[in-house]
Amino acid sequence: MSKKEQHSFSSVLSINPYKGTYVNAVSNFLNETTSAAYSKKQYVISYLNTKNFINSHIAVSKHIPKEDLYDAIYNKAYDELGLDQAIIYQIQYIETFNILDENNRNFHIFIIDPAIIDDVFKDVIEKVKYIDYIIPSALLLKSLYSRDIINSSGVHCFVYFQENDTFITIYNERNFVYTKSINYSFLQMHERFCEIYGEMIEYEEFINFLSNEDLKTTESVYKTHIIKLYKEIFANINDILTYVKRALDIDKIECLYIDTQLKSFIKLDEMAEVELSIKCSSFNFDYGLKSKESHVDHLHSLMYIYTTLLEKDRYECNFTVYPRPPKFIKRESGRASLLAVASLVLAFIYPVTYYTLTYAQSLQYKLLEDEYKNVHNIKITREAIVKNREADQTKVSTLLAKEEQEYVEKKNTLIKIHDVKVNYPMKAELVHNLTKDLNSYNVRLESALYSQAQESEKSSSLIKELKLGLVSTNDKKITDFIKYLTKVYKDKFHFSIEEISYEKETKLYFGELKVNLL
């Protein structure tokens, strides 16, 4: 948010649209609320889970102008990723820098079907009316670096468990490089746990165990099965990290940060460090924020910090389809209202101005009336002279036009006679010669149409054109045939063809060859 925006909003409302939780933030104080409502002095921010969008990497030429960049990325995304042409996807991107690629600009792109956004935020938008910013959850982690909450360099991995999604995100030298959703959200973990346990237990009971039990001290019968579940999760994470390190040419991950949106006694970072052999830590960051609640979802804290950053310190990747309307003076209705007020003011000013100017104009009128009489006499004399000159000009112009018409008619007659006697080519002979060439290249003639037209209104020259419908089983035969004609009849004809089409049913190639007689 720019400094101007910071001063125009008195609070920030962060939203978890998947659980319907709202946190209102004022002056670094976070307060969870259930009565979220629209306020024009409230900046609203939310996020999209990683599983909701497609993310990929795209490179485009450095020579593409800035105004055409979005269209180039948009079109290339459809081509390279095989997107459904029937859906108008919403695409956002952030630029990355690759010193090894000197000819292209590289971008991470995030793609989502707008219908998914409508489905995720349908309940939220009924309450808050507008959402200023919707960002992919993985990009919120940029706030940790911009605020120097994490000030170490190297490669950092983030794993965050949520009810509806669990994502893995990697930053290299403070910049985003990779994110992926894994199938171990709390809902999916519950299903998998019931499979391992061999018995269905309530979801609330499962979440209560994760939130309130310590695996080191608990006597619960679930302990062994929970540990088995976590080992399975860490094995999956290890496979992903192995792939990412190889794909992105990463030698070492300096630290893995792992946590959940629950307040939990289970030390996931300690378990992960043992299973993955990587230095691990929780999301127990010093955000510099205060709250009445004992635990606030880390994404709410990150969303608030994100809104306080300058544009240069964060990723601009806004998926909102619920922007607030422009300020009153920038709306059409606002401008109309201001125009009406201005009109009323002018309506009162006009009479005063009118009466002030009336007296001055009456004095000026008397002076101009005398001058008018002198000018009027001169005008009448000159008008008479002009009318005589115009009459003479009309007579001369009429005579000249008649002579020019006769000249043009005679000239056109002579040109047509010369064209017929000297330059008129025999169409039958032309078709005969072309037919022999068609047979030698195994190209069939589907149709032949001869036409001629006047080159322009001012020119008497005729454009003679023969259109030949060509058919072949191979488009190369058609192109070879055209190359041959162009070479042999270079000084006699001009050949052109706009396209060669292919018909799947007949498995034949069709093209219309235009032959202009020179």
The series of mean pLDDT values per 10 residues for the chain, 518 residues long, is: 60 94 92 86 94 93 92 94 93 86 90 95 92 95 94 94 96 95 95 94 93 87 92 96 94 95 89 94 91 89 93 92 73 59 63 71 80 84 86 87 86 73 56 76 84 67 80 88 85 84 88 83
Q: 150-284 falls under which CATH superfamily?
A: ATPase, nucleotide binding domain (3.30.420.40)
- CATH architecture for residues 1-149+289-324: 2-Layer Sandwich (3.30)
Smallest CA-to-CA distance from 236 within 283, 198, 188 is with 188
Contact residues for 214 (Cβ-Cβ < 8 A; gap 6+): 265, 266
Query: How is residue 38 written in tokens?
Result: 């629209």
Query: How is residue 22 written in tokens?
Result: 């709202």
Cβ–Cβ < 8 Å for 36, 131:
no
Do 150-284 and 427-517 show the same overall fold?
no
Please give the CATH number for the structural domain made up of 427-517. Answer: 3.30.70.2830
Contact residues for 49 (Cβ-Cβ < 8 A; gap 6+): 18, 137, 162, 164, 165, 167, 181
Which residue, chain included where needed, has tokens 């060509």? 470
Whole-number pLDDT of residue 232: 96
Largest CA distance in the chain: 122
Contact residues for 234 (Cβ-Cβ < 8 A; gap 6+): 271, 272, 275, 276
Residue type, 518: L
Angle ∠(17,20,24) on CA atoms, nearest 5: 90
Alpha helix stretches (DSSP H) within 138-262: 142-146, 186-197, 203-212, 223-247
Whole-number pLDDT of residue 38: 87
DSSP state at residue 262: S
Q: What is the pTM of this model?
A: 0.64
Q: In terms of C-beta density within 10 A (0-12 exposed, 13-18 middle, 19 or more buried), how is residue 49 classed?
A: buried
Q: In terms of C-beta density within 10 A (0-12 exposed, 13-18 middle, 19 or more buried), how is residue 141 classed?
A: buried
Domain extent listing, the chain = 1-149+289-324, 150-284, 331-423, 427-517
